[in-house]
């Protein structure tokens, strides 16, 4: 029973069940009551509509469904009307591709709908080709739209009956990503000299990228369900849980002292080991929190991390009694213990909201059609990644169509489908997708050939057809090669419905190889968007975001800790900017043509920016109201560092040498240190000096 419940509460279960019900309904209706020849196009329409689906509440899903069906109808009608006239179709195909990709610049929801519309367009070509009526009647097109409308209606009903499921799963994924981030942080506390901490910081950056994405997904899901209403009951608890997750993220991102220096100072102590063990236990508790959210169950006992926290507290007290005092190390350990204590409280928090809390969230969706068009116009330039991908895919689709006309004019639409799926915005993603697509298609065709030999002809094959369509949605996000294999089997069985199963095996494999070659050529030669060329701009954007984050932190030390919307936006922008650098560097290292020096420079910039964000997060995690004189001194120092980051961003964009920010006076002491020597003020002072060190570290990295 527990395994069945765990399966029912898994992330993909609802999506797979909706697709399974939709495909089963289509198969039964067309077999028992409707026209049997409509089954293939209706199934393809349902799958295309499922690909256009987003995790919105029923109102947002209704609006999205209307837009989706409108786009589907226009695209299917245009394809059906022009497919019999190759010169006209050769104009429509790249223009329509470009417009749909640029439509995705408005928001993530529109991007999903645009991609699904392109897929449906090719499905319309395949359905027309399968029916052997390239310029014939419109029954197949209407069946595609009917299948899409059927799935959309089922999805809308499902969303209305289970409105909070998407929020629960988004929050569960968020806490799972936080657990992985905590484990990466624990690795930094290994009490080993000479450890490659740069590699550990890079791994932490990769996991932080996934956490930032999970935070964004959870925020969008909450905003869609709550809107501007005052949340009540479980909605309020889940919103409070999201704010708790943000606080946990800030605390995990913090760094109170350079880890290599801390490991050296504590080499003969077990304190580093105890910190690492506590973090690993807290990661386990964070995963248990994720399971509790997903299953709507209370959090199980987390006595182990509590006991480990008590043991750590006693070990620190023993060190203070027995070892000679070291102000810097003692302050760092004290702040670390306080941070771990509050982190533990955050994991245990059930999502309580204070009455005076600022619960507003910032949305990503355009407020009007005018704003959506303004976003699209903003990206209509050669420097925009969206524009370059739109041009690249449009030219790739045109090249695939020309290749199709040259080889087998009426049976080569699989070339276009492969080009569409393989051609991604980045070189690394395109290369991975190409390998997965070829491997999956080959495996699917081999299995399909075996099934066609083993299964008797007729409607007995329908359950396999439906199962493969649903399996595609079970695997497509995490195991794309397997998803490609089952969808290949699905389409092969669709061809078999019209008597072309065996005939499709050889051409489909050739078309897949040709489509992959077209996609590879497009990403390589059509407005190539090498990430190394964008690195400096993205690093500069991160430095500017760091400055805005530091300004908000300094204001809170002057006026008291308040997690208001401006502060949360500044914190989110800083983490998103660092995540953008991490993603850029990961793609850059997989691209051809860059030198070893460029790769090393990118990694050095990434680790330096990660260190800077860690020190900012430390300042954010320990926010509290300071005396007026100390707050003014901190604000002056923060302005100095912010101006330095802003100037450094300009130097990086222009490729000029930036002067160091750390003057001899700052390196010896600052006004805030001289004013008062309290532990909190000393912590703030050291973090500011470490930020200055990060500035000078980035400024000293030569341009390769």
Indicate the range of 53-67, 176-190, 604-618 predicted with least confidence.
53-67
Please tell me the predicted confidence (pLDDT) of residue 584.
87
pLDDT at 136 over 70: no
Distance between CA atoms of residues 648 and 662, nearest Å: 13
When comparing pLDDT for 531 and 52, which is higher?
Answer: 52
Indicate the range of 131-140, 323-332, 390-399 predicted with least confidence.
131-140
Query: Cβ atoms within 10 A of the Cβ of 132, count?
Result: 11
CA atoms within a 13 Å half-sphere pointing along the CA-CB vector of 541: 15
Indicate the range of 13-17, 33-37, 279-283, 479-483 predicted with least confidence.
33-37
Give me the percent of the chain exceeding a pLDDT of 90: 18
C-alpha closest to that of 398 among 378, 377, 415: 415
Distance between CA atoms of residues 571 and 689, nearest Å: 20
Helix 108-131 to helix 58-82 angle (10° resolution) is 40
H helices within 349-411, ranges in order? 369-378, 385-407
Mean pLDDT (the chain) is 83
**DSSP helix/strand/coil, 256:** coil
Please tell me the predicted confidence (pLDDT) of residue 497.
67
Give 3-state DSSP helix, strand, coil % of the chain, rounded to 5: 80, 0, 20
Distance between CA atoms of residues 654 and 537, nearest Å: 9
Please tell me the predicted confidence (pLDDT) of residue 543.
95
Indicate the range of 3-7, 423-427, 567-571 predicted with least confidence.
3-7
pTM for the predicted model, two decimal places? 0.86
Give mean pLDDT, residues 405-428: 82
Distance between CA atoms of residues 114 and 104, nearest Å: 6
When comparing pLDDT for 203 and 304, which is higher?
Answer: 203
Please tell me the predicted confidence (pLDDT) of residue 671.
41
The string of pLDDT tens digits covering residues 479-511 is: 888 988 888 888 777 777 655 555 667 777 888
Indicate the range of 260-269, 318-327, 663-672, 680-689 predicted with least confidence.
663-672
pLDDT at 306 over 90: no
| Environment class of 348 (CB within 10 Å of its CB; exposed 0-12, middle 13-18, buried 19+) | middle
When comparing pLDDT for 695 and 194, which is higher?
Answer: 695
CA atoms within a 13 Å half-sphere pointing along the CA-CB vector of 394: 19
Please tell me the predicted confidence (pLDDT) of residue 695.
92
Give mean pLDDT, residues 323-340: 84
The DSSP output letter for 298 is P
Please tell me the predicted confidence (pLDDT) of residue 252.
93
Contact 64, 52 (CB under 8 A): yes
Please tell me the predicted confidence (pLDDT) of residue 208.
92
Give mean pLDDT, residues 24-50: 83
pLDDT at 7 over 80: no
Distance between CA atoms of residues 185 and 163, nearest Å: 35
Please tell me the predicted confidence (pLDDT) of residue 361.
72
**DSSP helix/strand/coil, 614:** helix
pLDDT at 422 over 80: yes
Give mean pLDDT, residues 650-678: 64
Give the 3-state secondary structure of 318-344: HHHHHCCCCHHHHHHHHHHHHHHHHHH
Tokens 């000479």 found at: 194
Kindly indicate the confidence band of residue 673, based on its pLDDT and cuts at 50, 70 and 90.
very low
Give me the percent of the chain exceeding a pLDDT of 70: 89
Contact 330, 320 (CB under 8 A): yes
Give mean pLDDT, residues 608-629: 90
Kindly indicate the confidence band of residue 16, based on its pLDDT and cuts at 50, 70 and 90.
confident
Contact 208, 181 (CB under 8 A): yes
Please tell me the predicted confidence (pLDDT) of residue 672.
40
Helix 501-525 to helix 480-497 angle (10° resolution) is 140
Give mean pLDDT, residues 349-368: 69
Give mean pLDDT, residues 222-244: 77
Give mean pLDDT, residues 562-577: 90
The string of pLDDT tens digits covering residues 73-112 is: 888 888 888 888 888 989 999 999 999 889 888 887 788 8
C-alpha closest to that of 9 among 256, 207, 405, 293: 293
Contact 300, 648 (CB under 8 A): no
Please tell me the predicted confidence (pLDDT) of residue 211.
93
For the chain, the residue count is 704
Please tell me the predicted confidence (pLDDT) of residue 663.
58
Please tell me the predicted confidence (pLDDT) of residue 473.
86
pLDDT at 362 over 50: yes
pLDDT at 667 over 50: no
Please tell me the predicted confidence (pLDDT) of residue 669.
41
Contact 128, 419 (CB under 8 A): no
The string of pLDDT tens digits covering residues 244-279 is: 899 999 999 998 888 888 888 888 888 888 898 999
Please tell me the predicted confidence (pLDDT) of residue 575.
93
């Amino acid at each position: 029973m527990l395994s069945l419940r765990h399966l029912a509460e898994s992330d993909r279960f609802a999506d797979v069940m909706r697709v399974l019900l939709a495909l089963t309904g289509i198969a039964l209706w067309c077999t028992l009551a409707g026209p049997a020849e409509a089954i293939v196009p209706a199934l393809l329409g349902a799958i295309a509509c499922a690909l256009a689906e987003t995790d919105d509440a029923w109102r947002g899903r209704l609006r999205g469904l209307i837009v989706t069906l409108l786009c589907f109808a226009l695209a299917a009608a245009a394809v059906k009307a022009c497919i019999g006239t190759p010169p006209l179709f050769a104009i429509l195909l790249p223009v329509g591709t470009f417009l749909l990709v640029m439509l995705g610049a408005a928001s993530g929801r529109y991007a999903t709908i645009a991609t699904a519309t392109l897929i449906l367009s090719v499905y319309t070509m395949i359905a027309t080709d399968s029916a052997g009526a390239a310029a014939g009647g419109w029954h197949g097109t209407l069946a595609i739209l009917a299948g899409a409308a059927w799935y959309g209606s089922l999805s809308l009903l499902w969303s209305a009956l289970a409105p909070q499921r998407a929020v629960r799963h988004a929050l569960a994924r968020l806490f799972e990503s936080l657990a992985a981030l905590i484990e990466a942080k624990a690795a930094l506390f290994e009490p080993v000299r000479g450890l490659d901490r740069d590699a550990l910081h890079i791994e932490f950056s990769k996991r932080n990228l996934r956490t930032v994405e999970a935070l964004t997904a959870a925020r969008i899901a909450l905003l869609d369900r709550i809107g501007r209403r005052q949340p009540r009951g479980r909605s309020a608890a889940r919103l409070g849980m999201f704010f708790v997750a943000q606080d946990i993220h800030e605390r995990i991102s913090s760094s109170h002292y350079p880890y290599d220096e801390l490991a050296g100072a504590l080499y003969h102590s077990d304190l580093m080991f105890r910190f690492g063990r506590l973090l690993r236990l807290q990661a386990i508790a964070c995963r248990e929190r994720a399971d509790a959210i997903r299953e709507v169950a209370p959090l199980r006992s987390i006595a182990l991390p509590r006991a480990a926290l008590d043991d750590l507290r006693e070990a620190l007290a023993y060190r203070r009694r027995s070892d000679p005092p070291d102000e810097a190390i003692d302050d760092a350990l004290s702040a670390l213990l306080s941070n771990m204590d509050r982190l533990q409280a955050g994991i245990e928090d059930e999502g309580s909201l204070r009455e005076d809390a600022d619960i507003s969230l910032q949305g990503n969706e355009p407020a009007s059609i005018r704003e959506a068009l303004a976003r699209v116009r903003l990206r209509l330039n050669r420097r925009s990644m969206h524009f370059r991908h739109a041009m690249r895919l449009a030219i790739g689709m045109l090249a695939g169509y020309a290749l199709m006309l040259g080889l087998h004019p009426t049976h080569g639409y699989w070339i276009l489908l492969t080009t569409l799926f393989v051609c991604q915005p980045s070189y690394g993603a395109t290369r991975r997708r190409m390998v997965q697509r070829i491997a999956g298609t080959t495996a699917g065709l081999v299995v399909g050939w075996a099934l066609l030999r083993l299964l008797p002809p007729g409607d007995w094959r329908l359950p396999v057809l439906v199962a493969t369509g649903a399996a595609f949605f079970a695997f497509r996000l995490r195991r794309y090669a397997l998803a490609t294999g089952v969808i290949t089997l699905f389409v092969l069985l669709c061809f078999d419905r019209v008597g072309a199963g065996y005939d499709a095996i050889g051409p489909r494999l050739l078309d897949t190889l040709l489509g992959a070659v077209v996609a590879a050529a497009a990403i390589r030669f059509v407005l190539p968007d090498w990430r190394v060329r964008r690195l400096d701009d993205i690093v500069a954007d991160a430095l500017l975001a760091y400055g805005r984050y530091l300004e908000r932190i300094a204001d809170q030390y002057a006026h008291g800790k308040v997690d208001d919307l401006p502060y949360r936006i500044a914190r989110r922008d800083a983490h998103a900017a660092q995540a953008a650098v991490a993603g850029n560097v990961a793609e850059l290292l997989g691209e051809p043509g860059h030198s070893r020096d460029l790769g090393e420079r990118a990694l050095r910039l990434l680790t330096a920016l990660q260190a800077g964000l860690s020190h900012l997060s430390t300042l954010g995690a320990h926010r509290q109201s300071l005396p007026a004189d100390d707050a003014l001194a901190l604000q002056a120092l923060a302005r100095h560092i912010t101006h330095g980051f802003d100037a450094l961003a300009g130097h990086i964009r222009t490729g000029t040498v930036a002067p160091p920010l750390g003057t001899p006076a700052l390196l010896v002491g600052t006004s805030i240190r001289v004013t008062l020597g309290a532990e909190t003020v000393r912590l703030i002072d050291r973090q500011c000096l470490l930020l200055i060190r990060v500035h000078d570290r980035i400024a000293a990295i030569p341009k390769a």
